[in-house]
Amino acid sequence: VMRRNPFGMDICCRKGSRSPLQELYNPTQVSLSNTAILHQIRRDQVTDTCRANSVSSRKRRVLTPSDLKHLVVDEDHEMIYCYVPKVACTNWKRVMMVLTGRGKYSDPMEIPANEAHVSSNLKTLNQYSIPEINHRLKNYMKFLFVREPFERLVSAYRNKFTQKYNTSFHKRYGTKIVRRQRKNATQEALRKGDDVKFEEFVAYLIDPHTQREEPFNEHWQTVYSLCHPCHIHYDLIGKYETLEEDSNYILQLAGVGSYLKFPTYAKSTRTTDEMTTEFFQNISSEHQTQLYEVYKLDFLMFNYSVPSYLKLE
């Protein structure tokens, strides 16, 4: 299969060349080998955390195809990307559309954001047969991107509950949160659900009723539950904090680094550590402790320390 790159040169699909997996574990370039050590440390951290916590989750469940709907497959470059909402997943989906589009797209930033989230634009692992799934899990390079869990949570809250245009979230979750968490809610608040306070959102997340009723929405679901890192061995764990370097390293391993760069743009609206600190000021230490328990595995697994602003009990 021939694909055209933006510069008009034909690049053949990897046959005969080294796969990203080979390039990662046996780098031919010195620049790649230094980074490989960092990623080995991140992999070890995940493995150790899974091992340390397997006692508490004795029921090692078998993954079903529906567990794999966040894993995007790139056949041409033999890569699998598990997307985590609020961790640059729009841009990574755009990049995956360029990589798998067989020349249909050349510039990730020319792809509209809503287009990147149309599920038919990318193929996910749950669309394959069991033998095909197993073959890809074994032979393709698997990666994901993570972010400090509470920063990701505040980012999700700001995006879904404070933006007027997100009416579907207000209706589906906002009304429910207001009904459950707000005493003497007005009829309008119960109908619209568009003024959820962060404290109410946290109370909803730690409410045992919520956990029993339905899985978390993907925007605030744990990475542990979305990508199953204790069941699936990820070769690369990229971090939001080092997004550009980690992303371009992956593109280099895929052999496309010379003409495809990860899109960068300074977003002034980005959720920061300072902002997250502010949001947590009004959360009681009891609720902070319960919320930390919900996201604890993500903190441990991806080596994020307990935030200094937390008052844990």
Q: What DSSP letter does each residue of the chain carry, written as one string?
A: -EEE-TTS-EEE-STTSPPHHHHHHS-SSHHHHHHHHHHHHHHHHHHHHHHHHTTTT---PPP-GGGGTTEEEETTTTEEEE--TTSSHHHHHHHHHHHHTTTS---GGGS-HHHHT-GGGS-BGGGS-HHHHHHHHHHSEEEEEE--HHHHHHHHHHHHHS-TT-HHHIIIIIHHHHHHH-TT--HHHHHH-----HHHHHHHHH-HHHHHHSPPPTTTS-HHHHH-TTTS--SEEEEGGGHHHHHHHHHHHTT-TTT--------TT---HHHHHHHHTTS-HHHHHHHHHHHHHHHHHTTPPPPTT----
- pLDDT for residue 71: 98
**Contact by Cβ (8 Å): 70, 227:** yes
Mind listing the pLDDT tens digit for each residue in 203-244?
A: 999 999 998 888 899 999 999 999 999 999 999 999 999 999
Statement: residue 309 has pLDDT above 90? yes
pTM here? 0.91
- pLDDT for residue 266: 65
- pLDDT for residue 1: 35
Mean pLDDT of 57-66: 73
- pLDDT for residue 218: 96
Binning pLDDT at 50, 70 and 90, where does residue 10 land? very low
Tokens of 245: 């370097």
Binning pLDDT at 50, 70 and 90, where does residue 29 land? confident
Statement: residue 103 has pLDDT above 90? no
Mean pLDDT of 126-137: 96
- pLDDT for residue 11: 40
- pLDDT for residue 271: 85
Mean pLDDT of 283-290: 97
Statement: residue 31 has pLDDT above 90? no
- pLDDT for residue 50: 93
The answer to which of 4-8, 109-113, 154-158, 166-170 has the lowest mean pLDDT is 4-8
Statement: residue 28 has pLDDT above 50? yes
Binning pLDDT at 50, 70 and 90, where does residue 8 land? very low
| Residue boundaries of the structural domains of the chain | 33-56+63-148+222-254, 150-219+271-295
Statement: residue 250 has pLDDT above 70? yes
**Contact by Cβ (8 Å): 79, 137:** no
Mean pLDDT of 99-114: 93
Q: What is the mean pLDDT of the chain?
A: 90
- pLDDT for residue 63: 87
Mean pLDDT of 50-67: 76
Binning pLDDT at 50, 70 and 90, where does residue 60 land? low
